[in-house]
Structure 1
Amino acid sequence: MDLLAMRESYQQQRVMLCFNGPISRSLIEEIGNALRNYLDSEQAALSSSMDVFAIYIEMTQNIRHYSRRRQYGERDATATVAVGRDDAGRYTVSAGNLVEADDGRELAKVIEEIGELDKAELKQAYKRQLRQPRDADSTRGAGLGLLDMARKSSLPLQARLQPLPNGQAFFSLTATV
């Protein structure tokens, strides 16, 4: 493993925090604390800091819930998470994980549809979804998390689905604050 090359790549891409591996509730919390401390040390605006943190939590919890629901073993129940800055100085929060290809295509479609909404439409969709009764037997979330991330993001959410030869795919999502 060439750590120097990784370090240089991270610096070039302005990565502030990166994690790759099995994700647990306690690990989500610990990385979240590290992220908060980092944002505090950067003296990030409070609203940006809160949005970055909330998006990080939503993304990682979604990955954890999906992996548990699919009963993935430790090898497949991993997350890759990176928080950085783009060329304009905005924060980017990215997370990715293995998914069943059909699930990934469905999720990418939903994110594409959400990306077509403006801020007012996002707010309406969020309120409408909040009022919807939730099926207790549903295996999917209510969609509020995606809508909330899109509302906090200054650019449309970016999803990417990379097919793998085994019927799975690597799904990644990026939000920009």
Structure 2
Amino acid sequence: MACILLRGRFMLLQQLLSIRQEFNEKQILLCFNGPISRSLIEEIGTALRNYLTEDQVGPSVSTDVFGIYIELTQNIRHYSQMRGYADMEGSATVVVARHGEAQYSVLAGNVIERTDGVALMEQVQALAAMDKVSLKAAYKKQLRAPREHEGASGAGLGLLDVARKSTEPLRCHLVETPDGKAFFSLLAVV
């Protein structure tokens, strides 16, 4: 058994260059996979802001990319805490990539309850079908709506804000897992 583990680590060591090359080809600026805490969200956010500043991204795009990253990672953290998931079960997978000179993708995913995933898919698809004017109106309506109790905030105002900041309709994907849960992933493009 120990030989198998060591062999697996050695293979990963050998593959690191190919992983790096793939990240460079796909212009992946940031990639994270694992348990996510508030302090880790802040640290990665700081690194993302610094990169965007170095890359001389305009302030509007930089603010939108950073805001989407924060919203998605905080949603994952909040959901995991609300569900009482252990660290690995509640872990996040986050990728930020650049496309061309001025476009960025923020992709985030996590394990969720299957029924929550189906409901979230429907919500994202409804937002994706809206134009900018409709999204703005829905955002204002949600902003004025009375807030539900703390634990049930769900993906409401924050998800609307992500959809408004995104230059393309939001896209999502849900993959059921053998344990009855699902992996939900969301893509926003700025």
Q: What TM-score results when the alignment is normalised by the length of structure 1? A: 0.96
In the TM superposition, 1:39-118 aligns within 5 A as: 39-86=52-99, 89-118=102-131
Please list, as runs of the form range in 1=range in 2, the aligned pairs for 1:1-177 lying within 5 A after superposition: 1=12, 2-86=15-99, 89-136=102-149, 138-141=151-154, 143-177=156-190
- Which consecutive unaligned segments of at least 5 residues does structure 2 have? 1-11
> Shift of residue 134 of structure 1?
1.1
Larger helix proportion, structure 1 or 2?
2
TM-score (norm 2): 0.90
In 1: Cα distance, 2:68 partner to 2:26 partner: 20
Task: Look up the equivalent residue of 2:134 and give its one-letter code.
Answer: E
Aligned length: 177
How much has 1:89 moved relative to structure 2?
Answer: 4.4
Q: How many angstroms apart in 1 are the aligned matches of 2:185 and 2:55?
A: 26
Once the two structures are superposed, what CA deviation does each residue of 1:83-111 show, in whole Å capped at 9, x if it has no partner? Answer: 00235741000111011111111101000
Q: Which has the larger radius of gyration?
A: 2
Give RMSD over aligned pairs. 1.3
1:139 is displaced (CA, Å) by: 2.0
Q: Please report how far the alpha carbon of residue 136 of structure 1 lies from its aligned counterpart in structure 2 after TM superposition.
A: 1.3
> What is the Cα deviation at residue 74 of structure 1?
1.1
Q: Which residues of structure 1 form unaligned runs of 5+?
A: none
| Cα pair 2:29 2:97 within 8 Å, conserved | yes
Large movers: runs of 4+ above 3 Å: none
Identity of aligned residues (%): 54
